[in-house]
Structure 1
Amino acid sequence: MKLKTVIIGGSNTVMLPGYLPTLLGTMAKRGVELDIVADLAVGGTTSALGLYQLKQFEQLEDCELLLIEYAINDAFVYGDERRPFRHWARFYEGIIRYALERNPNLRVATLVFGARNGSFLNSVPSIDAGINYISQWYGTISVDVSRMLMQQYGRDVVSNPAFYLDQGHYARPVSTTIVANLIADVLEPALSMQHRPKALPFAIDPDHFANARALSGEQLCKRLGRVPIQYSNRRFSISALDLGADRMRFEVDNGQLLALGYVCDPRIPPLDVAIGEEVHRAAMMKGGVRDGTYKFLVSMLSFEFLYGTKLLEARGNVSLIMSGA
């Protein structure tokens, strides 16, 4: 069996060597070849970028499997508090619902990883539980690696510092190999079963983000008559608008601005975002660029901070102005 696969996720999927190459080899040996059509994973990003990536990905209708890996980063950004958790769930349900609306034949599998000292070690983690709930609702596959590690190896092993490379990555090659084998133990039987597409159930949260609109840097440059700046590395190429000393104004009609994807290079200043009479300043510089490890990094700034306690009810008409500080 060979499945055309698209991947969205964070740095655990980007990392080489890591779990992914081992998983691909293990699955192939077991008779299920994951043919990677596109690996759209970007380190340090959340489900917000995953939804954006799928909105821009033109080959989704041709794919047979969507692999998702954001649990560690989602838990770090959205955590266990009620308001951020519900906002996250709208992103995650949006990914699932949007993907299946575009391609009802698509299989979806989400990998649930946990951080060193993560809440899964001594409590029920909200993001992990949410992934499992939404996955069961839509009949998709959830591979709860954190739970399986705890059940099979125990808290003492999983909480040992040697099990992790750092706060958010499994140690190589032993831990990543263990993780890859656990994933394969779930994926192989699940993907080997005959797939019968079903009609989408009604939404868990009617305010999910499946219908969110996405505008790429290239599209934005065309609208403004500007020449995009091209960034590329071994993984991907991306077009971006250089805002420079200009300001950019968004008029949001009965909605909210969810996030801004951007390229961090050594010249990037903080970003000022004005909404009404309030001005918020966001740091855009990434440590890896500041330290000279990377020439540039793709990242995403989520705008939850603009809405405060009104995050879940943030609707209506609003004007936002962005400018380099």
Structure 2
Amino acid sequence: MGATILLLPQPCGAIFCGCQMRQMTALAIGGSNTVMRPGWLTQLPECLLHHGINLNMSANLAIGNTTIQMGLLNLLDNRNLLESADLLLVEYTLNDTSLFSRDMAGFETWCQAMEGAIRFARTVNPAIVVVPVIFATKTGVHRNAVNVLHGGMHYLAHYYDLPVVDVNANLMQRFGRDIHDVSGVYSDFAHYQRPVFTTLAAELVAQKIADHVKKPSVRQQLPGALDDRNWASAQMLNPSSLAGATLQTFHNHMYNETGADLGKAVLSFDIEDGALLAVRYVCTEDICNCYIKVDDDWYQTDSLQPGMAEPKYRFLLSMLSFTGLPKAEGKRRYDMTGTAPQGVEVRQLRQIGTRKPVRPQQRLPICAILYTGRMSNVRLVDVTSELEDPRLDLPKVIAT
């Protein structure tokens, strides 16, 4: 079987001998498989040339070790790119499985988030073609059964007429269920080997895109929502816009982010008829855990990314998910900080792959907050002295 695997469906980059090239612009959201350079996304334009499509990637908004919540947050933050794109490539199912597939509540949350992202994209740009891409890890339920998120993605794709590309299912159809164990297919637990299998993934995506765009162009009306609790109306708060916030800017060849440091401050706000969903943050080597108070109850998330444990990088852009917080009921008060409350019970919120701190906690740069409902009474509170009041009803308001 090893020799057979090396046969690609089409030679990427072959000269297109048909009619004039079709020009298309794409935007991508996803996890580390979509971040990789070279990887399937960097090889996709060359593969599409074979099908008569000249693809321009306007932006790759993928961030490793994140979920569809980050994808929606980044779409909200880049509405102008979404408005001008012909294609939206969505690769999150592999990462999402780790967080959302353990119980029905998690699956329902994933459905609300994924449907919300699809509906937001199609509302902003009714003509955009949303292309979900399904990758799978080396081990998992998908090897001998149906991954519930894979099934959910196919259902949403059918309902919204999306050209879903199930790379995992295609590999199993072609090479058998033991494909995951064959040497050279995976470079590690969660990434296909370069260049052979990333190229194969790119060609599978290219074929599906080409088949879809060759259909007569019809401006489709957005159908009614499957779940009226979907996150299409989610909003974003940029805490760095608050006067008095301690700002830090982080820049490299991929990202340029400014965050409001909550290491020694508290961001407080009310949300009515909605909930706090997730944050985009910068993981530094001295990152703090993130503490969230919902009314009178405290929750905590580990924030240290694996790549910053040594550390391997100057910083990493990442996200924290708050899907384990209580369901929204009326108006709730939220407090977010990197300073641990004293003398109270703190419950743990599960994340994807984060670790406990390995060095003194100093910073918590928050770049964007994703929420549903109506936010009000936003204020930034200084906690430079030791935190004694667990309710954080502190008098020194530095910004509102």
Please report the TM-score for the alignment, with normalisation by the length of structure 2. 0.76
Q: Deviations over 1:1-23 (max 9, x none)?
A: 11111111110011122112222
Query: Which one is further off, 222-231 or 273-282?
Result: 222-231
> Counterparts of 1:190 and 1:291 in 2: how far apart (Å)?
45
> Counterparts of 1:204 and 1:87 in 2: how far apart (Å)?
13
Deviation at 1:236, TM superposition (A): 2.2
Deviation at 1:227, TM superposition (A): 5.6
Query: Which one is further off, 27-36 or 158-167?
Result: 158-167
> Counterparts of 2:25 and 2:173 in 1: how far apart (Å)?
32
> Counterparts of 1:92 and 1:274 in 2: how far apart (Å)?
26
Please report the TM-score for the alignment, with normalisation by the length of structure 1. 0.93
Q: Deviations over 1:219-265 (max 9, x none)?
A: x2223343632111111211111123111112111111111111101
The answer for the alignment partner of 1:255 in structure 2 is 274
List aligned pairs for 1:96-107, cutoff 5 A. 96-107=118-129
List aligned pairs for 1:6-45, cutoff 5 A. 6-45=27-66
> Counterparts of 1:90 and 1:224 in 2: how far apart (Å)?
33
1:290 equivalenced with 2:309 (yes/no): yes
Amino acid at match of 2:243: L
The answer for the alignment partner of 2:132 in structure 1 is 110
Amino acid at match of 2:39: G
The answer for the alignment partner of 1:281 in structure 2 is 300
The answer for the alignment partner of 1:192 in structure 2 is 214
> Counterparts of 1:159 and 1:122 in 2: how far apart (Å)?
13
Q: Deviations over 1:74-114 (max 9, x none)?
A: 11111152110010110000011011011111111010101
Q: Deviations over 1:265-318 (max 9, x none)?
A: 1121111112233212211111111212111111111102222xxx4xx33211
Query: Which one is further off, 205-214 or 78-87?
Result: 78-87
1:165 equivalenced with 2:187 (yes/no): yes
> Counterparts of 1:213 and 1:166 in 2: how far apart (Å)?
36
The answer to whether the Cα contact below 8 Å between 1:275 and 1:319 also exists between their aligned partners in 2 is yes
> Counterparts of 2:177 and 2:167 in 1: how far apart (Å)?
13
> Counterparts of 1:290 and 1:162 in 2: how far apart (Å)?
28
Q: Deviations over 1:155-213 (max 9, x none)?
A: 12233354111111001122212222222222221123232111111100010000011
Query: Which one is further off, 152-161 or 112-121?
Result: 152-161
List aligned pairs for 1:147-162, cutoff 5 A. 147-160=169-182, 162=184
The answer for the alignment partner of 1:2 in structure 2 is 23
The answer for the alignment partner of 1:315 in structure 2 is 329
> Counterparts of 1:274 and 1:80 in 2: how far apart (Å)?
25
- Give the number of equivalent residue pairs: 317
Amino acid at match of 1:36: M
1:237 equivalenced with 2:256 (yes/no): yes
The answer for the alignment partner of 2:16 in structure 1 is none
> Counterparts of 1:169 and 1:294 in 2: how far apart (Å)?
20
Structure 1 counterpart SS, 2:83? helix
Amino acid at match of 1:49: M
The answer to whether the Cα contact below 8 Å between 1:121 and 1:159 also exists between their aligned partners in 2 is no
Structure 2 counterpart SS, 1:273? strand
Match 2:69 to one of 42, 48, 52: 48
Match 1:179 to one of 201, 207, 215: 201
> Counterparts of 2:278 and 2:296 in 1: how far apart (Å)?
20
The answer for the alignment partner of 2:82 in structure 1 is 60
> Counterparts of 1:166 and 1:67 in 2: how far apart (Å)?
23
List aligned pairs for 1:61-100, cutoff 5 A. 61-100=83-122
Q: Aligned-residue CA RMSD in angstroms?
A: 1.5
The answer to whether the Cα contact below 8 Å between 1:32 and 1:192 also exists between their aligned partners in 2 is no
Deviation at 1:40, TM superposition (A): 0.5
Unaligned 5+ residue runs, structure 1?
none
> Counterparts of 1:215 and 1:173 in 2: how far apart (Å)?
39
Unaligned 5+ residue runs, structure 2?
1-21, 341-400
State percent identity of aligned pairs.
33
